[in-house]
Amino acid sequence: MADAAYLTNHGIDYIVTLVDTTDELKYVAWGTGATGAAVTDSAMETAAAPTNETAGTGSLAKATTTTDDDTLQVTHTITAGGSLTITEVGVFNQATLSGAICAFHGTFTGIAVSSGDSIAFTLKTVFDQAA
Amino acid sequence: MESKIGAHCTVEAVVYRADGRVESLGVICEGQMKPVEKKTLINTLKGMIKHG
C-alpha cells in the first residue's frame, strides 16, 4: 500500500460548508487600483464609490465544480454613480471596509462604466487536494 | 505526510449598461492559491470567524 494522506472530498465539503454557514464572506467592493492582486493583500488598493467605504452585501453560497460542494461562490451587482474604470474587486467579512478582512482580491483589465451602468460579479473559489 | 489543500479563484463579470445593453465578459481574472497545509487553512478560517 502506498503512503498517502489526503484531505478527502468530504473534508473539502466540510470546510466549504463551514464558511458558507457563517455567511460572513459576502461583502463586495469594487475599485480603481493599478497594482495587480497578491496573496499578501489586506485591502482594496483604491476602493471606489459607491463601495469606497462600505461594501455591498452580496450572496454567499456553496456550489459544485468538480466534487460535491467544493466551491464558495459570492455574487453581487454594483451600480456606478459616475464615470469610472473598474480594475479590482474584493470580498470582505464585513460591510465597513475599515478593519475588514480582505478574503478575496481580484484585479483585471479596466472596465469603463458610466452613471447607471452596473457590473454583476461572480467570484468563485474552488478547493482541491493541491496534488 | 501533510494533507494539503489548494484553491482556484475566478471572477466573472456581466456589465449592464444604463441604455439596456448587456455585455457578458466571462472570466475576467483568475489565480491559483499555493497549496497550504489543511490545518493552516482551517486555523486561518477559524481566526476569520472569531474576529469577523
Q: What interface predicted TM-score (ipTM) does this complex get?
A: 0.92
Distance CA B20, CA A96 (A): 31
Residues 6+ apart with CB under 8 A from A39: B33, B34
| Mean pLDDT of all residues in A106-129 | 96
A39 touches chain B (CB under 8 A): yes
* Whether A24 and B52 lie within 8 Å, measured CB to CB: yes
Phi, psi of A114 (to 5 degrees): -120, 170
pTM of the entire predicted model: 0.88
Distance CA A50, CA A113 (A): 13
Distance CA B41, CA B47 (A): 10
pLDDT at B43: 73
Helix (H) or strand (E) holding B48: helix B38-51
Grid coordinates of A18: 463551514
Task: Domain of residue B13: give its range.
Answer: 4-51
Q: A128 to chain B, minimum CA–CA distance in Å? A: 5
Task: Please give the tally of structural domains in chain B.
Answer: 1
pLDDT grade, residue A87 (50/70/90)? very high
pLDDT grade, residue A7 (50/70/90)? confident
